[in-house]
Amino acid sequence: MTSDASRIAELADSGVRMIERLRRKAFLPDTRKGLDVRYGIAEAAALLGCSTNRIRMAEDAGRLPQPPATDSGRRAGYTIEELLHMREVLGASPARAPMDQPPIIAVQNFKGGVGKSTVTTHLAHYLAVQGYRVLVVDCDSQATTTTLFGLNPHFNVTREETLYPYLSIDPTQADLLYAVKKTPWPNVDLIPSNLELFDVEYEMAAAGADGGSILATRFRKLKAGLMDLARSYDVVLLDPPPALGTISLAVMQAANALIVPLAATTPDFCSTVQFLSMMEQVIGQLGQAGIDVDYSFVRLICSKFNGNDPAHAMVQQIMEQTFGPALLPVAILESAEISHAAMRMMTVYELDKPIGTARTHKRCRTNLDEALGQVEQLVRRGWGRVSPVSEEALVNEAA
């Protein structure tokens, strides 16, 4: 007779094979994720906060290369790499100053299904489009963020490439540099995860009487390792597990800012309230143990919001009344474009053309820019800066 464990193992193996089939189908011919997004000159100018004329003048003067032409003679548009070069030449880089503290932002909620990994990956790519250097650290053994970056955690990631060799009771790595992987985005790096990262939880549980001191050491070690890496980036994003465990606690202590995604449903609202209550207790307990937690900002963001659903609107009002200014005013709308991109192990920012209608794609992209731009403003405020002022705004102000 086939045991329950054997049947579950068969289901898991079947699922792993299907993930790899989907990945290969999405990334043929080389089965590796690429980045084919290009931006027209008007969109590039908007991103750089300058006029199209300034870009053309820099190209005519040889300060910027001319973009290649298509077969029809039209401009092919600019790649992300070219946009980053344009930012350097035109002095439009948003990079933090050497003395600015790099934000290490945990995107955390103990309730699963709130879009935590979706928010993390879209935020990473939004910031990349804006010109920031971003490090994403997948701290969740379920590895959804790793998958959205185009890696199969079962086939493409080993335990030695995750946080495990650094956080293990018997560590084999003294810093985190070994785990940093390049991604198709020239200004986004990733520390991936897979199921074996959960072994850290087992080791801590088996540590017995010495578990408390080992745990405190791991907390401080993760923070030190991330702060060391953060010097090479503008923003670090952490995607912890959706549960209260060793790694989640370590992430909570290592972060210096917190974003809490929640869906506009009553169960999600209630669960998030419980999460915040638990956070308060845990932070107090950590403080008593001499482990400080200090956040430059704590904000909640409503994800998967359906403006046509009266129940969503009602729960959103409840959230506004409850959380006040801690709730970011622009919610992330539920969109088929996000779901379709996720099926291809991508974000909306990686699509070179709409999957659905052009109108749906534009509405989704505009909403994501507005919602995630709120987090960018929090980052810049922490550096004592506001958004870069465009030439058009300066002209209007002078007039």
Note the pLDDT tens digit of each residue in 189-202.
999 999 999 998 88
Separation of alpha carbons 130 and 149, rounded Å: 19
Tokens describing residue 348: 């909306």
Sign, CA dihedral 7-9-15-20, equals negative
pLDDT (0 to 100) of residue 390: 46
Q: Please report, rounded to a whole number, the percentage of residues in the chain having pLDDT higher than 90.
A: 57
Evaluate if residue 29 carries a pLDDT over 60.
no
pLDDT score of 397 more than 50: no
- Range from 126-135, 228-237, 379-388 carrying the lowest mean pLDDT: 379-388
- C-alpha–C-alpha distance, residues 228 and 254, integer Å: 12
pLDDT at position 24 is 66
Strand partners for 260 = 300
Average pLDDT of the segment spanning 107-136:
92
Q: Average the pLDDT over each of 219-228, 241-250, 281-290 and give the range with the smallest value.
A: 281-290
Q: What's the mean pLDDT in 216-234? A: 90
Spatial separation of the C-alpha atoms in residues 345 and 350, rounded to whole Å = 10
In the numeric block, the tokens 């289901």 are attached to: 11
pLDDT for 392: 46
The more confident residue out of 28 and 111 is: 111
| Averaged pLDDT of the chain | 86
Residue 51: both structure tokens together: 């006029």
Q: Contact, 203 vs 168, CB < 8 A? A: yes
Residue 342 pLDDT exceeds 70: yes
Q: Give the separation between CA 65 and CA 68, rounded to whole angstroms.
A: 9
How far is Cα 244 from Cα 288, in angstroms, rounded to an integer? Answer: 18
Burial of 8 (0-12, 13-18, 19+ CB in 10 A): exposed
Q: Which domains does the chain have, with CATH numbers?
A: 41-90 (no CATH), 104-392 (3.40.50.300)
The pLDDT tens digits of the residues spanning 344-353 come to: 888 999 998 8
The distance of Cα 344 from the centroid of its chain, to the nearest Å, equals 17
How many Å separate Cα 270 from the centre of its chain?
A: 25
- Structure-token match 């004329």, residue found: 53
Q: What are phi and psi of 107, to 5 degrees?
A: -100, 100
Q: Does residue 75 have a pLDDT over 80?
A: no
Q: Which residues pair with 299 in a beta bridge?
A: 259
Q: Residue length, the chain?
A: 399
pLDDT of residue 289: 74
Q: Give tens-digit pLDDT for 275-299.
A: 888 888 888 887 877 778 889 999 9
